[in-house]
Amino acid sequence: MLISQILDDAETIRVVARNGGKTRIINGARSVYSLAMEAARTGTGLVALIERKGFGEAVDLDAAYKKGRLLSPINHPDPAHLHLTGTGLTHLGSAATRDAMHKKLDADREEQLTDSMKMFRMGLEGGKPAKGQAGVQPEWFYKGNGTMAVAPGAALLSPAFAQDAGEEPEVAGIYVIGDDGVPFRVGFTLSNEFSDHITERVNYLFLAHSKLRNASFGPEILIGDLPSDVRGTSRILRDGKLLWEKPFLSGEANMSHTIANLEHHHFKYSAFRQPGDVHVHMFGTATLSFADGIRTEAGDVFEIEAKDFGLPLRNPLEIEQPVTVAVKAL
């Protein structure tokens, strides 16, 4: 089942769902957040809760998308309680890249490996522990709170000081924290973990700076398990024409970590188990237009799609105006 949020003509949030057929409004659902919290509080599976509420009128989701009426598929009444985070060095990449990496890891001495390569190797060796056990922890980064989340179809804003504005096609897990501090997974969605790759390339210690950017996710949330082999396409359109396109892979068959291991190492921190909070946690990628020498421009449109996740995620790029910030003493 796929669920999403739209604004109707009266500017009211409607939660909609589809399961191989028409998209229909879920009766009595005020938001995906309220629906997820109700499921957590009642101990009811999300699909069972949706089916119990029943469905109303059909909705043309494509038309709503074109009209700019799709919202992020989950939000929080207080944006400060939605956390955008992610993890990197989790994907194996293509078979050729994987073989090349293994050969280098086998051939080079420890001191010759970069820190990134060392962490990648750690994932290969310990990222998929036995069920119930904790494996090696991954690279982790913070992107911001709900004020940095951009709805499908809306513009990703790159700061004027940024040196690059590049897409990262990823799968993200969507979570709410129950009243007792237990994390509940709502499902999985596509995401564009928008980053500044030139800043990151200067020095990996600039990773934190490079990640403090907008992110977009959706339009739809896939309820249930993540397919082990996710195959999608990432593309960039310029002036309505295809500028760049490349397939991307995700799912555990293409990763050096299990989803459970990545979830454990995020939610092991009590700060991320605060009742009522929402988490959008992005699981990394191996496909970047930046790696192919693409420099994006204002007006370019990013499009990320994978058949398991319904509608593609589209966002145009805008560049913010420069701002001067001066701190005032009180």
Query: CA 111, CA 259: separation in Å to the nearest integer?
Result: 30
**Distance in Å from the first CA to the final CA of the chain:** 53
Q: What is the pLDDT of residue 286?
A: 87
Q: Which amino acid is at 266?
A: H
User: What confidence tens digit (pLDDT) does each residue in 282-292 have?
Assistant: 999 989 999 89
Q: What is the pLDDT of residue 203?
A: 87
User: What confidence tens digit (pLDDT) does each residue in 213-266 have?
Assistant: 999 999 999 999 999 999 999 999 999 999 999 999 999 999 999 999 999 999
Tokens in use for 119? 């962490």
* Measured CA angle at 12 (ends 9, 16), to 5 deg: 90
Query: CA 195, CA 167: separation in Å to the nearest integer?
Result: 7
Alpha carbon distances (Å) from 217 to 112, 157, 169, 234, 317: 37, 14, 10, 14, 15
Q: Which CATH class is domain 74-319?
A: alpha beta
Sequence-distant (6+) residues with CB within 8 A of 276 are 37, 76, 81, 176, 177, 179
Q: What is the pLDDT of residue 105?
A: 56
Percent helix, percent strand, percent coil in the chain, to nearest 5: 30, 30, 40
Q: What is the pLDDT of residue 104?
A: 58
Q: What is the pLDDT of residue 219?
A: 98
DSSP line for 135-158: -PPPP-EEEEEGGGEE-TTSPEEE
Q: Which residues of the chain have pLDDT under 50?
A: 94-102
Query: CA 168, CA 172: separation in Å to the nearest integer?
Result: 11
